[in-house]
Amino acid sequence: QAFLDRIATLNPTLNAYITVAAEQALAQAAQADDMLAAGTGGPLTGIPMAHKDIFCTRGVLTTCGSRMLHNFVSPYDATVVERLQSAGVVMLGKTNMDEFAMGSSNETSYYGAVRNPWDTQRVPGGSSGGSAAAVAADLCVMATGTDTGGSIRQPASFCGITGLKPTYGRVSRFGMIAFASSLDQAGPLSKSAEDAALMMNAMAGTDLRDSTSLDHPVEDFTALLQNSLSGLRIGLPKQHFTADLNPAVQQILQDAIKVLEGLGASVSEVDLPHNHLSVPAYYVVAPAEASANLSRFDGVRFGYRCENPLNLEDLYKRSRGEGFGDEVKRRIMVGTYALSAGYYDAYYKKAQKIRRLIKQDFDDAFRDVDVILGPTSPHTAFKLGEKNSDPVTMYLEDIYTIAVNLAGIPGMSLPAGMLNGLPIGMQLVGPAFSEARLLNVAHQFQ
């Protein structure tokens, strides 16, 4: 009830929630009370949390931030939702997001921009901006997000919280509305690495309903939290620590590195020679996959339908024309173009080859170091509207995060310091299945 009261007070300003499921939350809380009284609860029993509105929730609206799904109530729960529910959480509601998770500022949402709790004239980052703002403003204890190209880590950085993108396939995508299926991955947003580890314990694991979920043993993600960092080898990518990086951000990272060295870590430079190609490769692969995934929204099976269609073609055209926003349409056009006969080899195939080289760079680097450390974002949260006029400016938000998705490896953002009253995150990246190690480093640092 305390969280619901806080949401009622602050959400009109922050716009972090699209839907608040008050009645259901109170019923779940009552059940959790009974379990705890009977001594049968676990560490997440009764913890009030929120889901990004990309996860299907049975009986509760799931919009994906789009007019296209303004009336969509799913008949089933996403696996992530189901697993967290089995762990006893209370779902307060569904958080705002960029439309179909396309964006880095949460300004493409049909439900309006989210405001950053640290400065309401600024964006919370995106696309999981509602989740990050809700955690930062104590409108929930923890929240789910998704990260196709930085959408957990960048909002975590802008809102001063912790966010983890797991190894591709570690968490089931079943019931998570698809954007770019080979990149999409769900993960936790929370106040600490310890909370993220507890969420991962509930969320991770193979799922027969998602053929890309990995049949890999799920360890206890809290198991390594207390380990010493003595002997940890940290790599600093020379492509991230350049003269282009804001000196104040650079300084905050250098201070953080000193703390880690004090805890026993050693630092060396690593080379990611294809890093500069990650934004162009991503903005071919992701729209290509999106254009295919979004073809299901046809105005027939679910979601928005235009008024009085003249015939089937008119129904498709107007339902999609009226249901999707500008950024989504831009991605569909770019993706359709990149996949079309005659252009496929020049764009899509080329991007896939670059993707392979990016993955190879990380494999090479992880022969010498255990984790890679760098900035999550080039700067702190920017002002609402500041980057809206040119899509490429917005795409450049992702320069530090996106290679991690292309390589399928885990990455996280944790608060590194403050700059002019705004939080700034640092990113930790590890080889596949190193989530527990990343959480260990973050926990020791925090």
Contacts with ligand GLN by CB under 6 A lie at: 101-104, 127, 146-151, 179, 286, 398
- Give yes or no: 74 in active site: no
Length of the chain: 446
Task: Retrieve residue 124's tokens.
Answer: 């919370």
In eight-state DSSP terms, residue 321 is: H
Which residue lies nearer to ligand GLN by CB, 102 or 137? 102
CB 445, min distance to ligand GLN, A: 24
- To ligand GLN, the closest distance from the beta carbon of 446 in angstroms equals 24
Partners of residue 247 on adjacent β-strands: none
3 state SS of 336: helix
Nearer to ligand GLN, 149 or 325 (CB): 149
Which candidate in 66, 109, 127, 377 is catalytic? 127
Which runs of consecutive H residues, i.e. helices, occur in 274-389?
278-293, 312-323, 326-339, 350-365
Residue 127 appears among annotated catalytic residues:
yes
Q: How far is the CB of 98 from ligand GLN (least distance, A)?
A: 7
CB 143 within 8 Å of CB 95? yes
The CB-of-394 to ligand GLN minimum distance in angstroms stands at 7
Is residue 156 within 8 A of residue 131, CB to CB? The reply is no
How many Å apart are CA 344 and CA 336, to the nearest integer?
10
Cα 238 versus chain centre, distance: 25
Tell the smallest beta-carbon distance from residue 145 to ligand GLN (Å).
9
User: Is 201 strand, coil or helix?
Assistant: helix
Q: d(Cα 226, Cα 410) in Å, to the nearest integer?
A: 20
Q: Which is nearer to ligand GLN, 179 or 297 (CB)?
A: 179
Cα of 31 vs its chain's centroid, Å: 30
Residue 52 is among the residues annotated as catalytic for this protein: yes
Q: Pick the closest to residue 394 from 382, 404, 407 (CA basis).
A: 382
Residue type, 90: V
Please say which residue, 65 or 323, places its beta carbon nearer to ligand GLN. 65
Residue nearest to ligand GLN (CB): 151
Q: Are 123 and 106 in contact (CB under 8 A)?
A: yes
Q: How far, rounded to the nearest angstrom, does the alpha carbon of residue 214 sit from its chain's CA centroid?
A: 19
Q: How far is the CB of 105 from ligand GLN (least distance, A)?
A: 9
Q: CB nearer to ligand GLN: give 82 or 398.
A: 398
Closest to ligand GLN by CB, 154 vs 201, is 154
**Catalytic member of 131, 151, 190, 192:** 151
**Catalytically annotated residues:** 52, 127, 151
